Amino acid sequence: MSTHADFANYCCELLSGAGPCVARRMFGGFGVSTGGLTIAILADLDDGERLWLKGDKAAHGMYAAAGCRTFSYTAKGVQRSMNYFSAPDEAMDSADAMRPWARLALECAQRARAAKPIVRPTAPAKKTAPKGVTPVRRR
């Protein structure tokens, strides 16, 4: 098993306080989800592989108070960031220490899902006759 997969499995154990977790490969790293919600990502931003927890505006202050960094990267010369925050170092020691952070990440993922509009499939458009052709009406 590779080092990356070992780290992903370890992070799933750490995040088990939010529910049973699954790690799946994603964009050169891993996405960690529980109940169909992504609560964390594992990525190396040139400073080693790290666990990044889901966040949002409501949780930003808690992450900042714990000294967590915002997930940011440069793409095509432009600095970008995502609503993920580095896990506090002390929380990386045990599932008990990670539990409040795992639950916070889950709450953020739940709020993100609730904020997305529900897209319902639309009825297919009615077929129309090509221009210049009179449709035949049946009785």
Q: Which pLDDT band, with edges at 50, 70 and 90, does 101 fall under?
A: very high
Domains in the chain: boundaries: 3-114
For the entire predicted model, the pTM comes to 0.78
CA atoms of 69 and 31, how far apart (whole Å):
18
CATH topology of domain 3-114: Yope Regulator; Chain: A, (3.30.1460)
* Residue labelled with tokens 């154990």: 13
Q: Which pLDDT band, with edges at 50, 70 and 90, does 1 fall under?
A: very low
Integer Rg of the chain from CA: 22
Mean pLDDT confidence for 83-87: 96
Q: Which pLDDT band, with edges at 50, 70 and 90, does 130 fall under?
A: low
5 forms beta bridges with none
